[in-house]
Structure 1
Amino acid sequence: MRLLGAADVIVVHEATASRFREHFNPAAEIVEPGTVNPVTLARSAGLVARVFLGDPGVGSVLSDEARACVRANVPFEIVPGISAITGVPGYTGIPLTDGKHRDVTVVDAQEGGVDWSAYSGAATLVILGAENTIGEVAKGLIAAGRPDSTPVAVTSMGTTTEQYTVASTLARVASAAKNLDEPALIVVGDVVGWHDKLAWFETKPLFGWRVLVPRTKEQAASLSEQLRSYGAVPEEVPTISVEPPRTPQQMERAVKGLVTGRYEWVVFTSANAVRAVRERFEQYGLDARAFAGLKVAAVGEQTAASLVEFGVRPDLMPSGQQSSEGLLEVWPPYDKDLDPINRVLLPRADIATETLVAGLTELGWECDDVTAYRTVRAAPPPQPIRESIKGGGFDAVLFTSSSTVRNLIGIAGKPHNVTVIAVIGPQTAKTAEEYGLRVDVTADKPSASALAEALAEYGAKRRAAQVEAGDPLRKPSEMRRGARRRK
């Protein structure tokens, strides 16, 4: 990753580049292998990164290209990768060696014509390139003397969220694995017995689930990372666009009052509000030191995290429900003997509710409710996304507010009835139901992290129920009519 971020030229197949583009130097030139000699590039273009899938020394042309560098007196480095030979079994929970089995033999069957009599011993076999000839491999090994009861595992699309493993025997594997996708890797030997005990990747609670997150990539970063840890494939689709206020004078006066001591408290009800104030500060050459002497409140954990990133640690947060109501429960009433100033600044969205202002006023505080930013409905997502939403291509959708429900349906349509609907709290659930959605999951506290955790618990229970009933393991999207069914 460090080299990709520094490279001037990156030689990589486009299909591979799409997986890792976020780590590339934005200014790097991307070159398709075979179109330009890497040695020529290295002589004229600075740092060249040649990217391979897996390990560059296994199943690639590393030897040819490195030898060309040596002949041309071009210095180079080799960064070892993880080969499918070890990576895929690791992701299926199959250790290639254990206390009883120490020998591993790798067989490349891509060209066919393998003399299987050479592999009749007890060594563990890792077989590459035999996707279309699994039956022939099994017959060859049995004919060579391997017992037909020998355990064998076939894994397709290893280490991706489409990974699927069939564990069987040489006698049965041809029929058991006939519908697997390519590419596939075969492991033969008693170590396959570990799969049922150690499978950790395919058993994740949301493994392979395509989850719609109605947020921008910036807002959804931590949430998407948490979903990935559960095995999901998150897809961010912004439903709102944040824009500056139409007239900046309000915010200008608010920032001036903040610096000159007009306020006792500043209340932040969203990360967007923090971002809006921070951007205004930067325009005036100010930083977090301008908050010296002020008390700062945050409505929840994510807002507080944005403040801490800015350099401001909140003085007050809800102890229970992370909402305006929860903040009012812990807010102190105005005391003229203790509080030198009774004014509170609320930089918020243009569509914010009046709950917080009304509650603070009742507690004796005067509020300057300032529009820090406007929220407008985002542009519709691309057509394939819209079709997936309405057609059941997503396994779940996370709604983090009532506005995300309204806006998503407004720009993309109503989610299919097989899609699991997860909401952040009762109010969002009410809005979803008003739009005719069936709410399956509600977070136990109003935070994005708790929402992801609640969805993972739902997925785990759903999977356990399928296992107990002896049903095929199928994602919600595979339950719709016409969906591809995995054998």
Structure 2
Amino acid sequence: MLIAITRLAEKAGKDAGVCAAFGHTCYTVSPLRAEVIGDEVERFVEEANRGAFDCIFFTSALPAAIVAPLLDLPHPVRLVAIGPQTARTLVEFGLSPETLPSFYSADFAPHIGEWLRGKRVGIPRAAVPNPDLLSSIRAAGGEACEYPCYDLIPSGEDLDTGRADAVLFTSASSFREARWSRRSGQIVIAIGRVTARAMEEGDVVPDVVGDGSLSGTLEALNTHTGAADV
């Protein structure tokens, strides 16, 4: 089927290949655009390169792509990527991250565990509040150092979703800011539980909820429709 995927244009590069592996085609619709906050990027990079952090947590591939080329870390730092796409981006710039076993930032502190106590964690990310992540790090005895490296600006445009067999929302923000209309028979998909919660709060109950990754979501879609994986 043809799937409209809500993405920042900068993050859509691998979507077509992943969809093809599950027997689908896709195109990108962008309810948001990214605007880099140069001062915050510079502030984070300066701190990281002077050795201010014991750990850096990359919550998506975009901040990884923005800051990784600028890093010259003076000592080994624990690098954590939220998922395989983010990890691949870091590897492309010569870094060696570990990857969370889930795709949710709230699982970062439980995954790291006791090691967090007394550690400083640098978090370059979108300028979107994430109090659960910050409070979980602090509750584990760590110090959360958040750097809003880019803004998410609503496009204000009506999304071209009418021709799609399914619409896949990849974040809570992309759903909240989307201007779209659901046509009869169209499958609506949440990439994970956080996005699903935002959709339900907006009176849209997703037909399919993924595990936070595109591949896991497409697998769930094929199970929902009874399609066999390719």
TM category, shorter? 0.7 to 0.9
Aligned partner of 1:277 in structure 2 is 67
Are the counterparts in 2 of residues 276 and 373 from structure 1 also a CA contact under 8 Å?
A: no
Aligned partner of 2:215 in structure 1 is 449
Match 2:80 to one of 281, 285, 297: 297
Which has the larger displacement, 270-279 or 349-358?
270-279
Where 1:290 maps in the other structure, the secondary structure is coil
Distance (Å, rounded) in 2 between the aligned partners of 1:253 and 1:211? 39
What are the equivalent positions in structure 2 for 1:279-358 lying under 5 Å apart? 281=70, 289-290=72-73, 292-315=75-98, 317-319=99-101, 321-333=102-114, 342-358=119-135
Aligned partner of 1:83 in structure 2 is none
Where 2:219 maps in the other structure, the secondary structure is helix
Distance (Å, rounded) in 1 between the aligned partners of 2:89 and 2:103? 15
Aligned partner of 2:13 in structure 1 is 221
Once the two structures are TM-superposed, the CA of residue 327 in structure 1 deviates from its matched residue by 1.4
What are the equivalent positions in structure 2 for 1:293-442 lying under 5 Å apart? 293-315=76-98, 317-319=99-101, 321-333=102-114, 342-380=119-157, 385=160, 389=162, 393-409=163-179, 413-442=180-209
Could you list the runs of 5+ residues in structure 2 that have no partner in the other structure?
none
Could you list the runs of 5+ residues in structure 1 that have no partner in the other structure?
1-208, 282-286, 463-487
Are the counterparts in 2 of residues 318 and 329 from structure 1 also a CA contact under 8 Å?
A: no
Q: Deviations over 1:269-290 (max 9, x none)?
A: 11111122136x1xxxxx5x53
Larger radius of gyration: 1
- For CA contacts below 8 A with separation 6 or more, give which structure has more relative contact order: 2
Distance (Å, rounded) in 2 between the aligned partners of 1:329 and 1:373? 26
CA 1:441–1:314: 2 relative to 1, 3 Å: same
Q: Deviations over 1:391-426 (max 9, x none)?
A: xx32101111111211223xxx23224210111222
Give the CA RMSD over aligned residues.
2.5
Distance (Å, rounded) in 2 between the aligned partners of 1:269 and 1:349? 9
What are the equivalent positions in structure 2 for 1:81-120 lying under 5 Å apart? none
Once the two structures are TM-superposed, the CA of residue 451 in structure 1 deviates from its matched residue by 0.8
CA 1:210–1:370: 2 relative to 1, 3 Å: same
Q: Kindly provide the amino acid, as one letter, of the partner of residue 423 in structure 1.
A: A
Once the two structures are TM-superposed, the CA of residue 236 in structure 1 deviates from its matched residue by 1.0
CA 1:453–1:222: 2 relative to 1, 3 Å: farther
Once the two structures are TM-superposed, the CA of residue 230 in structure 1 deviates from its matched residue by 3.8
CA 1:291–1:435: 2 relative to 1, 3 Å: farther
Distance (Å, rounded) in 2 between the aligned partners of 1:331 and 1:231? 36
TM-score (norm 2): 0.87
Aligned partner of 2:58 in structure 1 is 268
Distance (Å, rounded) in 2 between the aligned partners of 1:240 and 1:379? 8
Q: Kindly provide the amino acid, as one letter, of the partner of residue 33 in structure 2.
A: S
Q: Kindly provide the amino acid, as one letter, of the partner of residue 112 in structure 2.
A: W
Q: Kindly provide the amino acid, as one letter, of the partner of residue 318 in structure 1.
A: L
User: Runs of at least 4 residues of structure 1 off by over 6 A?
Assistant: none
Q: Deviations over 1:186-216 (max 9, x none)?
A: xxxxxxxxxxxxxxxxxxxxxxx22111114
Q: Deviations over 1:367-387 (max 9, x none)?
A: 2211111111124157xx2xx
> How many percent of aligned residue pairs carry the same amino acid?
25
**Structure with greater strand percent:** 2
Where 1:333 maps in the other structure, the secondary structure is helix
Q: Deviations over 1:112-134 (max 9, x none)?
A: xxxxxxxxxxxxxxxxxxxxxxx
Q: Kindly provide the amino acid, as one letter, of the partner of residue 87 in structure 2.
A: A
Distance (Å, rounded) in 2 between the aligned partners of 1:414 and 1:456? 23
Distance (Å, rounded) in 1 between the aligned partners of 2:151 and 2:44? 16
Q: Kindly provide the amino acid, as one letter, of the partner of residue 228 in structure 1.
A: A
